[in-house]
Amino acid sequence: MFVCRRGTLFALALSLVLLLSCSFVLSAASAAAVPANAPCIVLDAGHGGVDPGVVGRTTGEKESDVNLKIVQKLQKLFSDAGFRVVLTRKNAGGLYGLPTKGYKRRDMEERRRIIREAEPDFVLSVHQNTFPADTSRRGGQVFFREGSAAGEALAVSIQARLNALGGRSVSALKGDFFLLGCADCPSALVECGFLSNAEEERLLLTDEYQGKIARAVFEGVLSFLS
């Protein structure tokens, strides 16, 4: 069994049950009420600022904005469940400062700094996908770092929930992404859907579907812990 920084996954699951039984409902104003031993999750909204990520096929909507909206919904779900939640990005801006030349490296280094400072038990990075060569592609895809058994288990659990939501059957995949190697804990990168698919783009821009995506990811994490 994988051993996290604060103990075994069993201990994390037990602490989560205790937290849920106490019905913690946390807001920004009451964040100090989160117990010191509460499981910590870092939520990363990919891209931001001068880096929009991919853009919607029909609307031109920026991936970075969709990512942030889904992360904000995840933040509420995890906070209400008693997790200590840390965001790498809280608004539409990037994390690179000025000048914008060489922004990408500085942006990623700042995300890594935030993650390491948080000493999290889990890391989730939220993104949107694109594949202009085949606009019929749709659905969520979850990635994990090669060699991380716990990261793979987390990704598989989240993928199962996204598959159920989208009526698909795909597997979580290994991915060589910078953010997946920033902490020694289970980490997953979640591509929520394809902005190159006009129908899925329409769904991803709605508050209702963003909520469904967030709920699926959240339940995937809880299932992993159980």
Beta bridge partners of 188: 124
Q: Are strands 7-8 and 3-4 parallel, antiparallel or unpaired?
A: antiparallel
Could you tell me the pLDDT band of residue 12, with boundaries at 50, 70 and 90?
low
User: Is 35 within a domain?
Assistant: no
User: Is 8 within a domain?
Assistant: no
Provide the percentage of residues in the chain whose pLDDT is more than 70. Answer: 85
pTM: 0.86
User: Is 209 within a domain?
Assistant: yes
The two tokens of residue 187 are 């980490």
Res 8 pLDDT > 70: no
User: What is the predicted pLDDT for the residue at 100?
Assistant: 80
User: What is the predicted pLDDT for the residue at 81?
Assistant: 97
The total domain count for the chain is: 1
Res 62 pLDDT > 50: yes
> What is the domain extent for residue 46?
40-129+136-225
Specify the CATH number for the domain of residue 94. Answer: 3.40.630.40
Q: Is the peptide bond before 99 cis (omega within 30 degrees of 0)?
A: yes
User: Is 23 within a domain?
Assistant: no
User: Is 95 within a domain?
Assistant: yes
Whole-angstrom distance, CA of residue 7 vs CA of residue 3:
6
Res 30 pLDDT > 50: no
Beta strands in 145-217 (DSSP E): 173-174, 187-194
User: Is 20 within a domain?
Assistant: no
